[in-house]
Structure 1
Amino acid sequence: MSSTPSSPLSRLAWLVAPALALLNACAMPGAPTPAPLVGSEWQLEDLGGRGVLDRVQATLAFPEAGRVAGNGSCNRFFGTYTLMQDRISLGPMGGTRMACDEAVSDQEARYMAALQKAQRLEVQGTTMLMHVQGQDKPLRFTRTNP
């Protein structure tokens, strides 16, 4: 009975298989993975349990991979984001600087500060929840485009 030397491919399989098993074990079962965000647009419905002003639209859009834009409540904004599974991080934002009513400016400041502290997303149908560092309740958005 002669033993045949193992091929490089089978040796590679023996090396890769444990690594894949470890990665699979580290995945969080049941953790919601956001639907593809590119091309989606969302309207803010709740600002961490504080509601939003009537007739004032705060929005968030993902026009292309790595890019975010929207309306803060009064001013338009744009910036970058990174997404790994359900973890999100938004980069510095740029935007317009129009004068706004004090209540609208206050909402916009709270919204923009929350976006900078975003940590995790959950998309459930037409609802997106954005969990924010330091806030007990997430931002809640409703999808505005199909």
Structure 2
Amino acid sequence: MSSTFRLAGLAAPVLMVLSACAMPGAPAAAPLVGSEWRLEDLGGTAVLDRVEATLVFPEAGRVAGNGSCNRFFGSYTLMSDRIAIGQMGSTRMACAGAVGEQEARYLGALEKAERVEVQGRTMQVHVKGMDKPLRFVRTKP
């Protein structure tokens, strides 16, 4: 079999998957690159007043933000509405009491993220093991 036919045979399934993601009626992939979000609800629990937890997508495949006390960074993959956030790193400031607890819950939830929905200025991140999604409001397009 010639290499041209072999390449065409490999490309066809890839093109079918990519076109299925773009088909009308399919869930739209969130336009995440360059967007910034503020956490408003942590899986059914309100976030602490005057404690900002954020999620930023500075470039394709990269995620960063403020966990509530520390800055974090990591990687992500997105296919249609499915999201997986890879291993994250963070600064190591001491976070006492409720702030530290919120940060631990938030970062733990991000590591278990499975699906993302963006509707207007709101984003919901569905997390494995949580009954309610994380809810964010857009702070930067």
TM-score under structure 1 length normalisation: 0.80
Query: In structure 2, which of residues 50, 53, 56 is the aligned counterpart of residue 58 of structure 1?
Result: 53
Distance 1:54 1:31 in 2: 37
Q: Structure 1 residue runs of 4+, over 4 Å off?
A: 26-31
| Fraction of identical pairs, as percent | 72
Instruction: Structure 2: give runs of 5+ residues left out of the alignment.
Output: 1-7
Larger radius of gyration: 1
Q: Does 1:35 align with 2:30?
A: yes
Query: In structure 2, which of residues 93, 96, 101 is the aligned counterpart of residue 98 of structure 1?
Result: 93
Query: In structure 1, which of residues 67, 70, 76 is the aligned counterpart of residue 62 of structure 2?
Result: 67
Provide the residue aligned with 2:81 in structure 1: 86
RMSD, aligned CA: 2.2
Q: Deviations over 1:42-95 (max 9, x none)?
A: 000000001100000000000000000000000000000000000000000011
TM-score under structure 2 length normalisation: 0.82
Q: Deviations over 1:82-138 (max 9, x none)?
A: 000000000000110101221000000000000000000000000000000011100
Q: Does 1:122 align with 2:117?
A: yes
How many correspondences in the alignment? 127
SS in 2 for 1:32: coil
Distance 2:44 2:23 in 1: 27
